[in-house]
Chains A and B, each alone.
Chain A
Amino acid sequence: MRNVWTICRKELGSYFVSPVAYLLLTMFGLIFGFFFWNALAVFVIEGMEMQMRGQTFPMNINEQIIRPLLQNVSVIGLFFIPMITMRLFAEEKRTGTIELLATSPVRDLEIIVGKWLAAVVLYSCLLLFTALNFAFLFKYGNPDWKPLVVGYLGLLLQAGALLAIGTFISTLTKNQIIAGAATFGVCLLLWVLGWVGGYESATWAQVLSYMSVVTHYESFGRGVLDSKDAVYYLTVILLGLFFTARSMESLRWRS
Chain B
Amino acid sequence: MISVKELTKRYAHTTAVDHISFEVAKGQIVGFLGPNGAGKTTTMRILTCFLPPSAGTAKVAGFDVLEQPLEVKKRIGYLPETPPIYPEMETADYLKFVGKLKGLKGADLQKRVDYVCDRCAVADVRKKLLGKLSKGYRQRVGLAQAIIHNPDVLILDEPTAGLDPKQINDTRDLIKDLAGDHTIILSTHILPEVEQTCEQVIIINRGKLVATDSVSNLQARARGAESVVIEVAGRNGSLEVPMVEHKLQQVVGVSRVLLKQHVDSRALFEVESQKGRLVRGDLARAVVASGWDLNELRPAAMSLEEIFLQLTGNESPASTPAKELPQ
Write the residues of chain A forming the contact surface with B, with a CB cutoff of 8 angstroms.
2-3, 6-7, 10, 13-14, 17-18, 93, 95-107, 174, 252-253, 255
Contacts and interface: CB of A to CB of B under 8 A. Distances in A.
B51 A103 contact: no
Contacts, number: 77
A106 B102 CA distance: 8
A96 B41 CA distance: 13
A14 B88 contact: yes
A105 B73 contact: yes
Contacts of B81: 96
A14 B48 contact: no
Contact of A96 (B70, B73, B80): B80
A interface secondary structure, majority: helix
14 contacts: A3-B100, A17-B89, A93-B327, A95-B85, A96-B81, A96-B82, A98-B84, A99-B45, A100-B78, A100-B84, A100-B101, A104-B98, A106-B101, A107-B70
Contact of A105 (B52, B86, B102): B102
Nearest to B84: A100
B51 A10 contact: no
B89 A99 contact: no
B88 A101 contact: no
A101 B101 contact: yes
Given A103-B73, A104-B98, A18 B88 contact: yes
A58 B51 CA distance: 66
B157 to A, nearest CB: 10
A103 B50 contact: yes
A108 B97 CA distance: 17
Contacts of B45: 99
A105 B98 contact: no
Given A6-B97, A99-B50, 20 more contacts: A13-B88, A14-B88, A95-B82, A95-B87, A96-B80, A96-B81, A96-B82, A97-B85, A99-B80, A100-B98, A100-B101, A102-B49, A103-B49, A104-B73, A105-B71, A105-B102, A105-B103, A106-B101, A107-B70, A255-B326
